[in-house]
Amino acid sequence: MASFLVRRLVGYVVLVAVATSLAYLLAASALDPRANYADRSPRPPEAAVDAQLSAYNLNDKDPLLVRYATWAAGVLRGDFGRSWNGSPVNDDLARRAGVTLRLVGCGLVLGAVAGVAVGAVAAAGQYGWFDRLSTAVAFLLLAVPTVVLANTLVIAAVWLNDLTGVRLLMVSGETTPGAASLLDRVQHLALPTLTLALAMAAVFSRYQRNLMLDVLGADFVRTARAKGLSRAAAVRRHALRVALIPVVTYFAFTFGALLVGATVTESVFGWYGLGQQLVAAIRGNDVNTVAAISCLAALALLVAALAADLLHAALDPRVRVA
């Protein structure tokens, strides 16, 4: 199994390097940091602007490959450079990355676990009341845009708080200023996490249901039943384990999609994470910040892919002897 994981890790590292390089080259080609100086009054001399941009490795008059080589050398040292106004990109990146990854990680884990459980139960009772109900709810959640779902949860939370007379759920911000308790974090985390988890649960439940239906009639399940296992035990020990193998592979891809989708959720609930920073960086022609966020997203996806490979190896004995 070690050789399998090493091969996968090498492949992922190469993909991260390629994806990050393409993100920088695209950002450096499309964004114009020079435009940030055009509206200043009085407008600075062009020579001064050139000197400033060159100091931050953002001068569009320098060859693109030279700028890329300088940026890549800094990244290898853990330095993502400076934004167009001179502030270090690293300063705010770690905190914002922690905010987004905490939100996305909780949403993905809860959504995946709930979706797998619902999909497995629905498949075991195909065309029963639970199967029909879960199908209807899943399609409803998939049809509702994230911004609508988030605002619906906000309205429901305000109603619940007013009904109970207690602020059970917080609808804005990551934490209350000055508060550092676990309860305060959970109260702020609940609604945005639920927004992401519900959408993920809908997707995973449909995927898991279809996979379960494919294996419930397989020979190995019938053999387990013939040896005396109950239907519930055969489904749990054999059918579910086999049906989970494609799901754990899908896990890494949904993590990447969730990182992008978290931008809307962060905006609705006032979370200052990577999503909001990415939007602000694009608007501000901040090449290095855009490239840095792309790099962090690629690294997070690498970790998710490795976790999926570990789960795959745990579920499939053939991988462990490869």
Q: What are 189's two structure tokens?
A: 């985390």
Q: How far is CA 89 from CA 2, 56, 198, 242, in A?
A: 36, 11, 33, 45
- C-beta separation of 251 from 318 below 8 A: no
Amino acid at 16: V
Amino acid occupying residue 166: V
Can you read off the two tokens belonging to residue 36? 């940030």
pLDDT value at position 229?
Answer: 80
Close Cβ partners of 218 (under 8 Å, ≥ 6 residues apart): 239, 242
**What pLDDT score was predicted for residue 80?**
92
Domains plus CATH for the chain? 89-283 (1.10.3720.10)
pLDDT tens, 125-171? 888 899 999 999 999 998 998 889 999 999 999 999 998 888 888 88
Two structure tokens written together for 204: 């995973």
List, in sequence order, the alpha helices (H) in 217-285: 219-226, 231-234, 240-269, 274-283
Query: Which stretches in the chain have pLDDT values below 70?
Result: 1-2, 4, 176-180, 256-257, 260-261, 317-322
The reported pLDDT for the residue numbered 73 is: 93
58 φ, ψ to 5°?
-125, 10
pTM above 0.85, yes or no: no
What is the 8-class DSSP label of residue 88?
B
Are the C-beta atoms of residues 35 and 285 closer than 8 Å to each other?
A: yes
pLDDT score recorded for residue 180:
60
Q: Is 43 helix (H, G, I), strand (E, B) or coil?
A: coil
CA pair distance 43, 34, nearest whole angstrom? 12
Q: Is residue 264 within 8 Å of 150, Cβ to Cβ?
A: yes
pLDDT in tens, 194-222: 999 998 899 899 989 988 888 887 788 78
Our measurement of the distance from residue 103's CA atom to the centroid of its chain's CA atoms, rounded to an integer in Å, reads 9
Residue-wise pLDDT tens digits, 165-186: 888 888 887 776 655 677 888 8
Rounded-to-integer distance, Cα 276 and Cα 95, Å: 13
Mean pLDDT, all residues of the chain: 85
Name residue 144's amino acid: V
Rg (CA), the chain: 24
Closest CA to 137 of 150, 125, 149: 149
Q: Which two tokens stand for residue 106?
A: 């909780």
